[in-house]
Amino acid sequence: MSHYLILSALLFSIGAVGVLIRRNAIVVFMCVELMLNATNLAFVSFSKMHGNLDGQVIAFFVMVVAAAEVVVGLAIIMTIFRSRRSSSVDDASLLKY
Amino acid sequence: MTASVLAAGNIPAPHVEYDLVAPLLLVFGTAVLGVLVEALFGRRWRPRIQVPLAFAGLGAAFVWTVILAVNADPHQVAAEGALGIDGPTLFIQGTILVLAMLSMLLIADRRQDTFAAQAAALPGTDAEARALAGGSEHTEIYPLTLFAVGGMLMFPASNDLLTMFVALEVMSLPLYLLCGLARRRRLLSQEAAVKYFLLGAFSSAFFLFGIALLYGYSGSMSLGDIAQVVQTGQTIVPEEVVGRVQPQEATEALLYGGVALLAVGLLFKMGAVPFHSWKPDVYQGAPTPVTALMASGTLVSAVGALLRVFYVALENMRWDWRPMMWAVAIITMVVGSIVAITQTDIKRMLAYSSVAHAGFLLTGVIATSENGLSSVLFYLAAYGATTIGAFAVVTMVRDTSGEAGHLSRWAGLGKRSPAVAGIFAFFLLAFAGIPLTSGFTGKFAVFRAAFEGGAAPLVVVGVLSSAIAAFFYVRVIVLMFFSDPEPEGPSVVVAPATAAAVALGLAATVVLGVLPQPLLDLAGQAAGQLFVR
Q: How many residues does chain B have?
A: 533
Domain ranges of chain A: 2-84
| Residue B486's pLDDT band (cuts 50, 70, 90) | confident
pLDDT tens per residue across span B397-438:
888 778 888 888 888 888 888 999 999 999 999 999 999 999
Using CA atoms, how far apart are residues B355 and B377, in angstroms rounded to an integer?
17
pLDDT of residue B420: 93
Which residues of A fall within a CB distance of 8 Å from B176? 72-73, 76
In chain B, what residues touch A58 (CB-CB under 8 Å)?
162, 211, 215, 221
Mean pLDDT calculated for residue range B301-318: 90
Contacts of B18 (CB under 8 A, 6+ apart): B25
Q: pLDDT band at B66, cuts 50/70/90?
A: very high
CB contact under 8 A, B194 and A46: no
Residue B179 is predicted with a pLDDT of 93
Give the integer Cα–Cα distance in Å for B451 and B463: 12
Q: How many CB atoms lie within 10 A of CB B4?
A: 12
The three-class DSSP label of residue B244 is coil
Please judge whether A19 and B281 are an interchain contact, meaning their C-beta atoms are less than 8 angstroms apart. no
- Considering only CB atoms, B285 lies closest to which of A52, A65, A95, namely A95
Averaged pLDDT for residues B523-533: 82
CA distance A66 to chain B (A): 9
| Chain B environment of A8 (Cβ under 8 Å) | 212
CB spacing of A54 vs B215 below 8 angstroms: yes
Q: What residues does B403 pair with on adjacent strands? A: B398
| Chain A residues with beta carbon closer than 8 angstroms to that of B192 | 95
For residue B172, give the chain A residue with the closest CA.
A69
Q: Is the dihedral of CA B23, B29, B32, B33 positive or negative?
A: negative
**Cβ-nearest to A53 among B3, B123, B195:** B3
Average pLDDT, chain B: 90
pLDDT at residue B226 tops 80: yes
CA-CA distance, B354 to B88, in Å (whole number)? Answer: 22
On chain B, the residues whose CB falls within 8 A of the CB of A6 are none
CA triplet A75, A78, A82: central angle to 5 degrees?
140
Strands B402-403 and B397-399: antiparallel
Position B12 scores a pLDDT of 79
pLDDT at B72 over 70: no
**Residue of B166, B176, B219 lying closest to A50 (CB–CB):** B219
| pLDDT (mean) for B332-344 | 93
| A52: nearest CB among B2, B169, B208 | B2
Q: Which of A12, A69, A79 sits opposite B119 (nearest CB)?
A: A79
For range B82-95, the mean pLDDT: 92
Nearest-5° Cα angle at B181, B176 to B183: 155
Between A and B, how many residue pairs show a Cβ–Cβ distance under 8 A?
142
Nearest of B183, B184, B165 to residue B173 by alpha carbon:
B165
Strands (E), B59-111: 76-78, 83-85
For A83, name the nearest residue in chain B, comparing CA atoms only.
Answer: B122
Share of chain A above pLDDT 90, in %: 70
The domain locations on chain B are: 16-528
Chain A hits for B241, Cβ within 8 Å:
51-52
Task: Say which of B187, B221, B241 has its CB closest to residue A54.
Answer: B221
CB neighbourhood size of B518 (10 A): 10
Name the closest residue on chain B to residue A81, using Cα atoms.
B190
Half-sphere exposure of B363 (CA within 13 A, CB side): 33
B17-34 per-position pLDDT tens digit:
888 899 999 999 999 999
- Arithmetic mean of pLDDT, B499-509: 95
**Partner-chain contact A83 B122, CB within 8 Å:** yes
Specify whether the CB–CB gap between B86 and B74 falls below 8 A.
yes
Q: Between chains, do A19 and B202 touch, taking CB under 8 Å as contact? A: yes
Q: Which residue of A has its CA nearest to B167?
A: A65
Read out DSSP for B443-455? HHHHHHHHHHTT-
Among B198, B212, B281, select the one facing A43 at the smallest CB separation.
B212
Using CB atoms, pick whichever of A51, A65, A94 lies closest to residue B169: A65
Residue A97 has pLDDT above 70, yes or no: no
Mean pLDDT within B381-387: 95
Answer whether A49 sits within 8 Å of B216, measured CB to CB.
yes
Kindly indicate the confidence band of residue B74, based on its pLDDT and cuts at 50, 70 and 90. Answer: low
CB contact under 8 A, B209 and A12: yes
Q: Point out the residue among A50, A73, A94 whose CB comes nearest to the CB of B187.
A: A94
Q: Do A95 and B245 lie within an 8 Å CB cutoff? A: no
pLDDT for residue B4: 64
Say whether B221 and A25 touch across the interface (CB within 8 A): no
Would you call B25 exposed, middle or buried from its count of C-beta atoms within 10 A (0-12, 13-18, 19+)?
middle
Question: Does residue A94 surpass a pLDDT of 80?
Answer: no
Strand partners, A24: A88
Find out if CATH 1.10.287.3510 is the number for domain A2-84: yes
C-alpha distance from B376 to closest chain A C-alpha (Å): 30
B256-286: per-residue pLDDT in tens?
A: 999 999 999 999 999 998 999 999 999 999 9
The whole-angstrom separation of Cα B235 and Cα B229 is 6
Task: Provide ipTM, 2 decimals.
Answer: 0.96
From chain A, the residues in CB contact with B211 under 8 A are: 39, 58
The secondary structure of residue B369, as a DSSP letter, is S
* pLDDT score, position B424: 95
Nearest CA in chain B to A31: B202
Q: Which residues of A touch B202 (CB under 8 A)?
A: 16, 19, 32, 35
In this prediction, residues A12-31 reach a mean pLDDT of 94
Q: Which member of B180, B216, B236 has the closest CB to residue A76?
A: B180
How distant is the Cα of A12 from the closest Cα of chain B, in angstroms? Answer: 8
Q: Do B176 and A95 touch (CB under 8 A)?
A: no
Q: How far is CA A65 from the centre of its chain?
A: 11
Q: What angle do CA B13, B15, B17 make, to 5 degrees?
A: 160
For residue B97, pLDDT beyond 80? yes
Find chain B residues with C-beta within 8 A of A42's C-beta. Answer: 209, 212-213, 216
Q: Could B205 and A5 be called an inter-chain contact, meaning their C-beta atoms sit closer than 8 Å?
A: no
Give the pLDDT of residue B494.
87
Instruction: Band the pLDDT of B3: cuts 50, 70, 90.
Output: low
Contact B208 A62 (CB under 8 A): yes
Distance from A85 to chain B by nearest Cα, in Å? Answer: 11
pLDDT in the model for residue B403: 84
B73 pLDDT more than 70: no
> Does the distance separating the beta carbons of B190 and A46 come in below 8 Å?
no
